[in-house]
C-alpha cells in the first residue's frame, strides 16, 4: 500500500513548524508519519453508523472560572529569565512584516 503521505507534505509541515530536516530525516519521518496516518485510517474500515463522535475524553462541558483578578508574576523576575529585555519588555530580533 502506498503511503498516504508524500515526502513534500512532510517538508511543508516541517517548514510551517520551523523545523529544518535533513534528507534522511525527511525520508524517516515520511515513513513514520505515514504509518501513523495509516493506523488512523483503519478507523474507516469500521462501521461507525450512529456512533456519536467523541470530542474529548472527559465528559465535561462549561468548565469556567469566576472573573476575579489574581496576582500576576513579578516583572523583573520574568524578564530576568528572558534572553534579552529592554524598557520592561521582552526584546526579540526584529520581525519583518506583520502578524498573520
CA-CA distance, 93 to 79, in Å (whole number)? Answer: 16
Based on CB atoms, which residue is closest to other proteins, 6 or 12? 12
CA-CA distance, 51 to 25, in Å (whole number)? Answer: 38
Kindly state the smallest distance separating residue 47's Cβ from other proteins, in Å: 24
Kindly state the smallest distance separating residue 80's Cβ from other proteins, in Å: 12
Q: Does 97 bind other proteins (CB under 8 A)?
A: yes
Kindly state the smallest distance separating residue 1's Cβ from other proteins, in Å: 25
* The three grid cell numbers given for residue 72, joined into one nine-digit string: 500576576
With contact defined as beta carbons under 8 Å apart, do 6 and 30 qualify? yes
| 65-84 footprint of other proteins as x/- string (CB under 8 A) | xxxxxxxxx-x--xx----x
Amino acid at each position: 500500500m502506498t503511503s498516504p503521505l508524500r515526502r513534500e507534505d512532510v517538508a511543508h509541515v516541517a517548514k510551517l513548524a520551523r523545523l529544518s530536516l535533513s534528507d534522511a530525516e525527511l525520508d524517516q519521518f515520511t515513513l513514520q508519519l505515514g504509518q501513523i496516518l495509516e493506523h488512523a485510517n483503519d478507523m474507516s474500515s469500521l462501521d461507525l453508523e450512529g456512533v456519536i463522535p467523541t470530542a474529548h475524553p472527559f465528559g465535561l462541558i462549561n468548565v469556567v472560572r469566576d472573573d476575579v483578578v489574581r496576582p500576576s508574576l513579578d516583572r523583573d523576575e520574568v524578564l530576568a529569565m528572558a534572553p534579552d529585555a529592554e524598557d520592561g519588555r521582552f526584546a526579540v530580533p526584529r520581525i519583518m512584516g506583520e502578524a498573520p
